[in-house]
C-alpha cells in the first residue's frame, strides 16, 4: 500500500483554482522532486498535504486512511511535517526552543535535539541564540531540525534553497544528504533543477495546477523536464497530461 495517495485533488484560493485534479502515490522511502514554474501550485499542494489548505475536491490518504479534513496539527501527530517556504521560525525564541516545538507533536523516534545537532553541527554553538539573529543557512537548518524533531514519516521541504547563497545551499544539502538516503519519505520543492534531480528518486512537474510529468528520476531527460516546465509540449500541439 502507498504511504501517501493524492486522488483528484482540487485546491482553491477563493475563485482561483491553484491545484487541478492532481493524483499521485508515494511509497515509503521515495524522494519526490516537485518542480514547476512560479505559480504552478507546488506550495499550495505541499500546504494541502500538511493540512494548511482544505481541498475543494479529491482526497488525501495516509496509509490508506482518508485525512483530507484532518487539521494540520493532527497531521503532524500522524507523521507529516512541513518545512515551509520562508522557514516561519519564532524569531524571539532560541534555536533550542524552536527545535523543542517539534516535539510537541508527541511522536517518538530516533530524532532528538542531540541528533539534530549532529546532523547540523553549525547549530550547536548557536543553540541559545534567538533565531532572528541567525544567518539564513542557520535559520534553514533550524526549520528542518524542527520538522525532524517531530519524527516524521513524510517530510515536506518547500524551497529550502530560497534566499541562500550557493555556498550555503551546498552546505544545507550536504547536511541533508544523510537524511535523503536514510529511507525517510521526502517531497522536495526546489527551483534548482540540477540539485533536485541529484537527490530525487522521482520527479513530478506541475504546470498551471496540473501534473504534466510524473516519472522515476532516472528515466527523465533534461529535454522532457524543460518541455513540461515551460508547457512546450502544448505549444507543439500535444495535449497536456491531466
Ligand atoms: P512559487 O514557486 O512562486 O511559490 P508555486 O508553484 O508554489 O509558486 P503557489 O504558491 O501554490 O505556486 O501558487 C499557485 C497559485 O495560487 C498562484 O496563482 C498564486 O498566486 C495563487 N495563490 C497562492 N497562495 C494564495 C493565497 N493565499 N491567496 C490567493 N491566491 C494564492
> Into how many domains does the chain fold?
1
Rounded distance from Cα 39 to ligand 1 centre (Å): 5
Residue 181 has pLDDT above 80, yes or no: no
Q: Is the pLDDT of residue 239 over 70?
A: no
174: domain CATH number is: 3.40.50.300
Decide which of 129 and 165 is more confident: 129
More confident residue, 175 or 229: 229
Boundaries of domain holding 181: 4-241
- Which residue puts its alpha carbon closest to atom 25 of ligand 1? 13
DSSP letters for 106-142: ---SS--HHHHHHHSGGGGGGTTSBGGGS-HHHHHHH
Residue 56, pLDDT > 60, answer yes
- Residue with CA nearest ligand 1 atom 16: 18
**Nearest alpha carbon, ligand 1 atom 20:** 39
> Mean of the per-residue pLDDT values for the chain?
88
Which residues have C-beta within 8 Å of that of residue 101, sequence separation ≥ 6?
90, 146, 149
Name the grid cell of 186.
Answer: 521526502
Going from the Cα of 230 to the center of ligand 1, the distance in angstroms, rounded, reads: 17
Share of the chain above pLDDT 70, in %: 95
152: nearest Cα among 240, 77, 67: 77
**pLDDT value of residue 233:** 67
19 C-alpha vs ligand 1 centroid, how far in Å?
9
Q: How far is the CA of 70 from the CAs of 8, 49, 101, 104, in angstroms? A: 18, 10, 20, 17
Pocket of ligand 1 (CB under 6 A): 13, 16, 18, 36, 38-44
Residue pLDDT, tens place only, 200-235: 999 999 999 999 999 999 999 989 999 999 888 665
pLDDT digits (tens, 9 = 90+) for 140-162: 889 988 999 999 999 999 988 87
Amino acid at each position: 500500500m502507498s504511504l501517501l495517495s493524492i486522488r483528484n485533488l482540487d485546491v482553491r484560493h477563493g475563485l482561483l483554482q491553484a491545484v487541478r485534479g492532481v493524483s499521485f502515490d508515494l511509497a515509503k522511502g521515495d524522494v519526490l522532486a516537485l518542480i514547476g514554474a512560479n505559480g504552478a501550485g507546488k506550495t499550495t499542494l505541499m500546504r494541502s498535504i500538511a493540512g494548511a489548505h482544505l481541498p475543494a475536491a479529491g482526497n488525501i490518504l495516509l496509509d490508506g486512511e482518508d485525512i483530507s479534513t484532518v487539521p494540520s496539527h493532527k497531521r503532524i501527530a500522524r507523521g507529516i511535517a512541513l518545512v515551509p517556504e520562508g522557514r516561519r521560525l519564532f524569531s524571539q525564541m532560541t534555536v533550542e526552543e524552536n527545535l523543542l516545538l517539534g516535539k510537541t507533536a508527541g511522536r517518538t523516534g530516533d530524532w532528538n535535539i542531540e541528533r539534530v545537532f549532529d546532523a547540523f553541527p553549525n547549530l550547536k554553538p548557536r543553540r541559545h541564540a534567538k533565531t532572528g539573529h541567525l544567518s539564513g543557512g542557520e535559520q534553514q537548518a533550524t526549520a528542518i531540525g524542527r520538522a525532524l524533531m517531530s519524527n516524521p514519516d513524510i517530510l515536506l521541504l518547500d524551497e529550502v534553497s530560497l534566499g541562500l547563497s550557493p555556498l550555503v545551499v551546498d552546505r544545507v544539502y550536504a547536511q541533508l544528504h544523510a537524511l535523503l538516503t536514510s529511507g525517510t519519505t521526502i517531497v522536495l520543492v526546489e527551483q534548482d533543477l540540477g540539485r533536485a534531480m541529484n537527490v530525487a528518486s522521482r520527479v513530478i512537474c506541475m504546470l498551471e495546477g496540473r501534473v504534466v510529468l510524473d516519472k522515476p528520476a532516472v528515466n527523465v531527460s533534461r529535454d522532457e523536464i524543460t518541455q513540461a516546465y515551460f508547457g512546450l509540449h502544448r505549444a507543439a500541439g500535444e495535449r497536456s497530461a491531466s
